[in-house]
Amino acid sequence: MSKTISGFSKLSKSKKIDWIANTYFSNREHAKSIIKQYWNSNDKLQQLHDEFIENTITNYYLPLGVAPNFLINNTLYTIPMAIEESSVVAAASKAAKFWLDRGGFKTQVISTTKIGQVHFMHNGNVTELTNFFNAVKPKLLNAVKPISKNMEKRGGGILDIELRDKTNAIPNYYQLHVSFETVNAMGANFINSCLEQFAKTFKTEAETYTSFTTESKQIDIVMSILSNYVPDCLVRAEVSCKVEDLTENDDIPAEEFAKKFVQAVNIAEIEPYRAVTHNKGIMNGIDAVVLATGNDFRAIEAGVHAYAAKNGTYSSLSHAKIENDTFYFWMEIPLALGTVGGLTNLHPLVKLALEMLNNPSAQELMQIVAVAGLAQNFAALRSLTTTGIQQGHMKMHLMNILNQFEANTEEKTILTQQFKTQTVSHNAVLEALEKLRQ
């Protein structure tokens, strides 16, 4: 059967599934049963999911867990986390409990500015272009009034428009560099709508601008789009305590643990191979909360990693030091988040997650998400510098291995108890399970 098809998007869902099952699977009915197994029994809810994206055939579930005991600026939170990776929620919870008795997490939103750009080509005189921009800037702002009116009522809107000369990088290339405040919305649609109107007005006004020479009238719009690089949408999260209170376990003194911890962070600050994995651990916490609250984790990932390389070398997002017998661990990170619009108003579990967080503003959510990332990083570094990462991770992975071999409830109970004192590995679990079944 041909693997090409015309008009696929116009087929009903059942017809789409039939084609996929018949084209790609040897056991067609088994494939169909798995696809349908993940449908929601509530038809209205399933229709809602079907309409989130295009060509839907079923739902792809991720576990939604919670990490309690997060004390953030003297307020207690239980943080929802949607993620498939073992040990992430457990590690966050453990870090939260550790810092609960040491003053908790302190956070501060530093700035909330977001960026969008109109990219265009112009082969005329730069002075004429600059004069034109200064003359037309009020008209640009006026042209988006119908779009920005509601955002302005909520305290947001357009902060500024700059003309940026990028001809040193690409001949004839310029930008309208626009800064926005979108309050509680992530604001992608608002920003892009404003940018497209700016582009249209900018090009139209150029055609009738009398001070241009003929060649300068040519404004060639390439594209208008928001940027996911948001170095001025920044939040800080930190923890601190006396070094003597940084007790990890009986096997390592607090002073030694603090020193090794700071050394581990210092390594991630100067070694990109380590920094990427270090920051991935931070994103384990961040992505899980971003996803649970209906935000765009791909945009967050892109912006965060660009920020980690802002000085020309990819480096650690978090930092640590010992000063005056006090341990400090902190992070400043760009997070463009929203609590209104998009899935936040549509997905029932997203609405539940936000309610669990006391329906935060976008700025409050920035702080909660940053804390989840810092907690995850602390937990990872604590394991790495003491017992090693695999001991805790493989304990959490044990259940995945048992499920892979279809262990029943009794087998899981026995082997979970057995591996409390044994090293978990794929082969060790398989051998123990086979021995048990004999």
Whether residue 2 is contained in a domain is answered as: no
> What region, left, alpha or beta, does residue 104 occupy, with left being phi > 0 and alpha being psi -120 to 50 degrees?
left
Active site residue 296: yes
Q: What is the pLDDT of residue 347?
A: 93
Whether residue 405 is contained in a domain is answered as: yes
Q: What is the residue-level pLDDT of the chain in tens, covering all 438 positions?
A: 568 999 999 999 999 999 999 999 999 999 999 999 999 999 999 999 999 999 999 999 999 999 999 999 999 999 999 999 989 999 999 999 999 999 999 999 999 999 999 999 999 899 999 999 999 999 999 999 999 999 999 999 999 999 999 999 999 999 999 999 999 999 999 999 999 999 999 999 998 898 887 666 789 999 999 999 999 999 999 999 999 999 867 678 999 999 999 999 999 999 999 999 999 999 999 999 999 999 999 999 999 999 999 999 999 999 999 999 999 999 999 999 999 988 888 999 999 999 999 999 999 999 999 999 999 999 999 999 987 655 555 566 677 788 888 888 888 888 888 877 777 777 888 888 888 888
Q: Do 310 and 196 fall within a single domain? A: no
Q: Do 249 and 268 fall within a single domain? A: yes
Catalytic residue among 32, 114, 347, 393: 393
Catalytic residue among 296, 347, 364, 397: 296
Q: Do 102 and 122 fall within a single domain? A: no
Active site residue 287: no
Q: Do 372 and 298 fall within a single domain? A: yes
Q: What is the pLDDT of residue 412?
A: 81
Q: Do 262 and 379 fall within a single domain? A: yes
Active site residue 393: yes
Whether residue 129 is contained in a domain is answered as: yes
Q: What is the pLDDT of residue 215?
A: 66
Q: Do 104 and 251 fall within a single domain? A: yes
Q: Do 175 and 194 fall within a single domain? A: yes
Count of domains forming the chain: 4
Full-model pTM: 0.89
Q: Do 175 and 46 fall within a single domain? A: no
Catalytic residue among 280, 319, 351, 412: 280
Catalytic residue among 50, 85, 128, 411: 85
Q: What is the pLDDT of residue 194?
A: 98
CATH number at residue 184: 3.30.70.420
By the 8 A CB rule, do 95 and 87 touch? no
CATH number at residue 91: 3.90.770.10
Domain range for 91 is 64-111+231-387
- Domain boundary residue among 176, 196, 226? 226
Q: Do 135 and 211 fall within a single domain? A: yes
Q: What is the pLDDT of residue 284?
A: 97
- Domain boundary residue among 369, 387, 405? 387
Active site residue 305: no
Q: Do 95 and 181 fall within a single domain? A: no
- Domain boundary residue among 387, 411, 427? 387
Whether residue 164 is contained in a domain is answered as: yes
Whether residue 36 is contained in a domain is answered as: yes
Whether residue 55 is contained in a domain is answered as: no
Whether residue 276 is contained in a domain is answered as: yes
Whether residue 56 is contained in a domain is answered as: no
Identify the bridge partners of residue 162 per DSSP, sorted by sequence position.
Answer: 177
Q: Do 330 and 367 fall within a single domain? A: yes
Q: What is the pLDDT of residue 214?
A: 67
Q: Do 323 and 221 fall within a single domain? A: no
